[in-house]
Amino acid sequence: MQLLVLNGPNLNMLGQREPDIYGTASLDGIRAACAPVAERLGVALDWAQSNHEGALVDHIQAAPDRYNGVILNAGAYTHSSIALRDAIGATALPVLELHLSNTAAREAFRHASMIAPVCLGVIAGFGARGYELAIRAMAGHLCDAPVKPL
């Protein structure tokens, strides 16, 4: 099972950016913490991060040829990107929306997700542990559903 963990704008700043909201773990630290979880589940992970909407769209469009599913922390693009929504909707892959913070408990503009309607589900508010939860959730979903061969 191959999964892409795709991270959007400002997530390269984790550990430095507003640690009271996003925690003190860096993206590299989160990746390292997820490695043993993925290994136990028999999941291979590829990680990517971009601050550019088009690059994220490119990753999603290319994903069906390489991955069984995508875990997407789209950051602020969650609330504004019709392009990401359309890219997700154009693939047959399950995409799980992920957020470190509980977006429903934050500013009003963060309450609406453009991508949630085309995603398998949403994990939010569990900090860095949300990535581990997302890997488990996606692996469980794919085990219950037919997994397409790559």
Catalytic residue among 22, 67, 77, 131: 22
Catalytic residue among 59, 67, 77, 99: 99
76 CB neighbour count, 10 Å cutoff: 13
Per the document, the length of the chain is 150
Whether 111 sits among the annotated catalytic residues: the reply is: no
SS3 99: strand
**Residue 29: in which H helix or E strand, if any?**
helix 27-41
Whether 77 sits among the annotated catalytic residues: the reply is: no
Please give the Cα distance from 85 to 115 (Å, whole number).
5
Please give the Cα distance from 58 to 96 (Å, whole number).
17
Active-site residues, by number, are 22, 99
